[in-house]
Amino acid sequence: MAEERTIFLRPITSVYFGSPGSFNAGEMAGSVRGSKSMFPPPISSFQGMIRTKLLIDSGITDQKEVPALVGKPKELPDSWALQGPFPVRLLEKRLDIWFPVPKCLFSSPQAPVKARLFYPPEEEKFLADKNFEGLHLAGVPCKNEKPLSGWVSSQNLFWALSNRGSSKWNENEYSSEDLPPFVWWEFKPGLGIDRERRAAKEGMLYFLSSLRFKDNAGLIGWFKGKLAERLSENALKRGVITAGKKWGVMAFEETSLKDPYWEKLAKGAHLKDISLPASFYVWIVLLSPGKPPYKEALEGPLLKIAQQVSSDISIEVVSVITGKSVKFSGFSFVEKRPKRISHWFPPGASFLVRVSGGSLEERKQVLLLWNNTCVFAAESFRAFGYGHIIVSVPIEKSWREKWKEEEIYW
């Protein structure tokens, strides 16, 4: 089995990550323009830094040698698989990894509550997403609440997906902002340059919103695969690399610390000692962008895994709660043309899945095989870390509620 390596990247300077393509300051003459970094940094940047660092440290400059060592632009070597990046801070005795808030969590005065299915009245059925015919609305009916947004620590994610034992929701481990508490925006002004005159262009002032991390914070991910003999194992443990746009610098560093809550989730410890009836519902949460475009495509990859265990098991995606889609675009330097804009489900998107049939052990094995895998994307994207999912324990309480006309639910 290929060894899994923890990749820890610590930003030394502020860093800016944008969509692939050129960056032109002040695109409109006489205007002031602002541009905001992507967060977390896209998977394309993460894998690019890993592959580039391996090549640089090994002194490989011949482009003809690159595909055999680190793969082609759209392909990784056969044994390679990546997950991440996620924001993380290094505490005294452990890692503290943060994740996008699952969209199946809704706010309440105390701890958040999990969404349930409900039936809207006939005149309100337009609220259902027409792209997913047959799916039901999910949320917290009869209350003026919306899905949570922002970031949660691994501790709160463990609570959300297990909700048992001694785990509790920790309000201090949740941020409703677009950044976790150990990352903030750093605003930088700049001027477009007239290359011919070697001077600033008039009216070309712009501002960048870059990412600044605390000293004990950075990005974490995991790399599984066998390195070619010419590549250095130490390349992913030390040294610096240019990151993103505007020449940010990040350091590869080694850490022996672990995040106990994430370790439990990743290994499926929350799914091992649970009661599974003949038919039950679980929430499946995306941790990275995913793109199964239609209902049958949502069920397809899950069903394929389930039927490797037993042909008696059936799968149905009954509801989806998702936020604003993630857009992928840019410019293809290989094809020398703009890429077509592609819409993906965002991290945090939640899918309510019904599992039926098979034996108790077979149903449990299916959940463990789904958990912490990259399946909600085309196969060519999975090795990069797209479509990364995590599975909740079965929903315990009644999940369907009759909608009453006199009650307002959004």
The answer to whether residue 363 sits within a structural domain is yes
129 and 249 belong to one structural domain: no
56 and 124 belong to one structural domain: no
Mutual angle of helices 360-370 and 295-309, in 10-degree steps: 120
Confidence of residue 131 (pLDDT cuts 50, 70, 90): very low
Domain end residue (candidates: 260, 288, 313):
260
pLDDT, residue 306, reads: 95
Domain end residue (candidates: 260, 285, 319):
260
**CA 171 to chain CA centroid, nearest Å:** 22
Average pLDDT, the chain: 83
User: CA angle at residue 50 from 45 to 56, to 5 degrees?
Assistant: 115
What proportion of the chain, given as a percentage, has pLDDT over 90? 54
The answer to whether residue 169 sits within a structural domain is no
pLDDT, residue 128, reads: 46
Confidence of residue 129 (pLDDT cuts 50, 70, 90): very low
The answer to whether the CB of 9 falls within 8 A of the CB of 250 is yes
Q: Over the Cα atoms of the chain, what is R_g?
A: 23
316 and 253 belong to one structural domain: no
The answer to whether residue 196 sits within a structural domain is yes
List the CATH number of the domain containing 224.
3.30.70
- Per DSSP, 66 falls in state H
190 and 43 belong to one structural domain: yes
DSSP 50-103: HHHHHHHHTT---TTTHHHHH--TT---TT-EEEEEEEEEE-SSSEEEEEEPPT
How confident is the model over 223-276, as pLDDT tens digits?
Answer: 999 999 999 989 999 999 998 877 889 999 999 999 999 999 999 999 988 889
SS3 call for 56: helix
**Residue-wise burial string across 10-46, b where 16 or more C-beta atoms lie within 10 A, e elsewhere:** bbebbbbbbebeeeebbeeeeeebebbbebbbbbbbb
38 and 54 belong to one structural domain: yes
Q: Which residue has the higher pLDDT, 305 or 408?
A: 305
Q: State the burial class of residue 120 (Cβ atoms within 10 Å of its Cβ: 0-12, 13-18, 19+).
A: middle
pLDDT, residue 141, reads: 57
Q: What is the model's pTM?
A: 0.86
List the structure tokens of 168: 């509790």
The answer to whether residue 406 sits within a structural domain is no
Sole residue written with tokens 């914070």: 217
End-to-end CA distance of the chain: 49
How confident is the model over 294-338, as pLDDT tens digits?
Answer: 666 788 999 999 999 999 999 999 888 888 888 776 656 556 666
Which residues neighbour 358 within 8 Å (Cβ) at sequence distance 6 or greater?
Answer: 309, 310, 312, 313, 366
312 and 246 belong to one structural domain: no
pLDDT at 146 over 90: no
300 and 393 belong to one structural domain: yes
Query: How many structural domains compose the chain?
Result: 2
303 and 394 belong to one structural domain: yes
The answer to whether residue 151 sits within a structural domain is no
Residues 106, 111, 117, 118: is their CA dihedral positive or negative?
A: negative
Confidence of residue 207 (pLDDT cuts 50, 70, 90): confident
Q: Average pLDDT in the 124-152 region?
A: 63
273 and 199 belong to one structural domain: no
pLDDT, residue 124, reads: 46
pLDDT, residue 25, reads: 44
Which residues neighbour 190 within 8 Å (Cβ) at sequence distance 6 or greater?
Answer: 25, 205, 206, 207, 208
How confident is the model over 352-381, as pLDDT tens digits?
Answer: 999 999 999 999 999 999 999 999 998 889
The region of weakest confidence among 191-195, 207-211, 280-284, 341-345 is 191-195
Confidence of residue 85 (pLDDT cuts 50, 70, 90): very high
Distance CA 302, CA 297 (A): 9
Domain end residue (candidates: 213, 242, 260):
260
pLDDT, residue 14, reads: 92
Q: Which residue has the higher pLDDT, 3 or 336?
A: 3
Instruction: Kindly report the number of other CB atoms within 10 A of residue 378's CB atom.
Output: 14
Which residues neighbour 68 within 8 Å (Cβ) at sequence distance 6 or greater?
Answer: 228
184 and 64 belong to one structural domain: yes
The answer to whether residue 155 sits within a structural domain is no
pLDDT, residue 183, reads: 97
Q: Average pLDDT in the 196-225 region?
A: 83
90 and 39 belong to one structural domain: yes
- Per DSSP, 393 falls in state P
The answer to whether residue 174 sits within a structural domain is no
**Domain of 84?**
4-97+179-260
281 and 383 belong to one structural domain: yes
The answer to whether residue 157 sits within a structural domain is no
List the CATH number of the domain containing 364.
2.60.40.4350
Nearest to 403 by CA among 117, 115, 122, 119: 119
Nearest to 121 by CA among 406, 403, 409, 360: 403
